[in-house]
Structure 1
Amino acid sequence: MKETNVRQIEEAVRLILEAIGEDPNREGLLDTPKRVAKMYSEVFSGLEDDPKTYFETIFSEDHEELVLVKDIPFYSMCEHHLVPFFGHAHVAYLPKGGKVTGLSKLARAVEAVAKRPQLQERLTATVADSIVESLEPHGVMVVVEGEHMCMTMRGVKKPGAKTVTMAVRGVFEEDHTKRAEVLSFIKN
């Protein structure tokens, strides 16, 4: 795994502070480069994390009905502006052949994918594809609702606007009744 270059981040933050006309040696900013470097190490820790590893533990269970974990909170960084976007992910799958995974693994996969410079559309698709590749279920549906600070604090300045993305695979692509059922569970 590639190590985060904390020193390089610190230098870059000092340059940014100078470039906007601030004094990086001012009391309130003295430790800011270190704090930002530590934060970036944490918020980008998913760069080398393959979400499929969370689905290596599979249980055999006589269950081929819906599994849905909803309202999984996530925080990510928009790769276009390096400002946060955050919200909730809803992850559903229909197991096949008794292959189920731990519920926490679904949340861990969302977190791993979110902890990298990201687009919400890619986050949604990556989680869905990881489940398909690892569990080979009848179907997968991932719905992500996010608020993007690049739309809230700059540009169009529309706080509270939510972006919804969806990735559907397998039976949820083909069967609109099953898709509607999952969406109704997510809403309630």
Structure 2
Amino acid sequence: MSNYRFFEEYNQETTENLKQKYSDILLGLGEDITREGIIKTPERASKAMQFLTQGYDQDPAAVLKSAMFAEDYHDMVIIKDIELYSLCEHHILPFFGKAHIAYIPNGHIVGLSKIPRVVDIFARRLQVQERLTHDILECINTTLEPKGVAVVIEASHMCMMMRGVQKQNSVTTTSGFRGQFEKIETRNEFLKLISNDLG
């Protein structure tokens, strides 16, 4: 017998409120909400939506500040291929892909795991890719005050793949640059490094 127990904590009032609304949606679609496969769906959907939007309750700047260290390092730091999953605010359908982020320290570095955490916090909100890119960029730039920041996001959008134009292989790329990355030579170095397979 396994002693594994998965535990997630949710606000009970919010869970019940959303559960009722999901029941109404399923009824509106003509579903039988009493059948075996559906009976627990409103509660599952309620908890799933709370999980997928938990970024509203988290402070990305505080995450960065919790792991800032004084360090005399002035070269580019790159974290590439950061997986991200978000929900499009227009249709509440997923978009997913990878973020590539670089910064040039200005007296402080940050724990490497904190950059992906910042990505997750902003992604776990209803988003558009353009704003997600900007949010991540400005948070790092304002909090770390580095010499430069660069963010590139490549993502596939289910609203384009499942409905609308139904284009299965399209990828949307957005980017933002601050400080030294506004110089073409620094930007090109970054873009070359994230496009190369360094392994």
Corresponding residue number in structure 2 for 1:107 = 116
C-alpha distance in 2, partners of 1:54/1:165? 24
C-alpha distance in 2, partners of 1:48/1:127? 16
Change (3 A) 1:72 1:3: farther
1:131 aligns with 2:140: yes
C-alpha distance in 1, partners of 2:162/2:13? 28
C-alpha distance in 1, partners of 2:130/2:98? 13
C-alpha distance in 2, partners of 1:53/1:153? 37
How much has 1:4 moved relative to structure 2?
7.3
Contact 1:4–1:41, Cα closer than 8 Å, also in 2 = no
C-alpha distance in 2, partners of 1:50/1:4? 23
C-alpha distance in 2, partners of 1:23/1:167? 47
Corresponding residue number in structure 2 for 1:14 = 23
1:179 aligned residue (166, 187, 194): 187
Matches within 5 A, 1:56-67: 56=65, 57-67=67-77
Corresponding residue number in structure 1 for 2:104 = 94
Q: Secondary structure at the match of 1:150?
A: helix
C-alpha distance in 2, partners of 1:124/1:79? 15
CA RMSD of aligned residues (A): 1.3
Corresponding residue number in structure 1 for 2:165 = 156
Change (3 A) 1:124 1:186: same
Corresponding residue number in structure 1 for 2:8 = none
Corresponding residue number in structure 1 for 2:32 = 23
Q: How many residue pairs end up in the alignment?
A: 185
Change (3 A) 1:166 1:3: farther
1:83 aligns with 2:62: no
Structure 1 residue ranges without an equivalent (≥5)? none
How much has 1:160 moved relative to structure 2?
2.2
Corresponding residue number in structure 2 for 1:69 = 79
Change (3 A) 1:10 1:3: closer
C-alpha distance in 2, partners of 1:111/1:83? 17
C-alpha distance in 2, partners of 1:8/1:75? 25
Amino acid aligned to 1:104: S
Q: Secondary structure at the match of 2:54?
A: coil
1:33 aligns with 2:42: yes
C-alpha offsets along residues 135-172 of structure 1, whole Å, 9 cap, x if unaligned?
11111000011110000100000112111010111111
Change (3 A) 1:117 1:54: same
Q: Scaled by the length of structure 1, what TM-score is found? A: 0.95
Corresponding residue number in structure 2 for 1:143 = 152
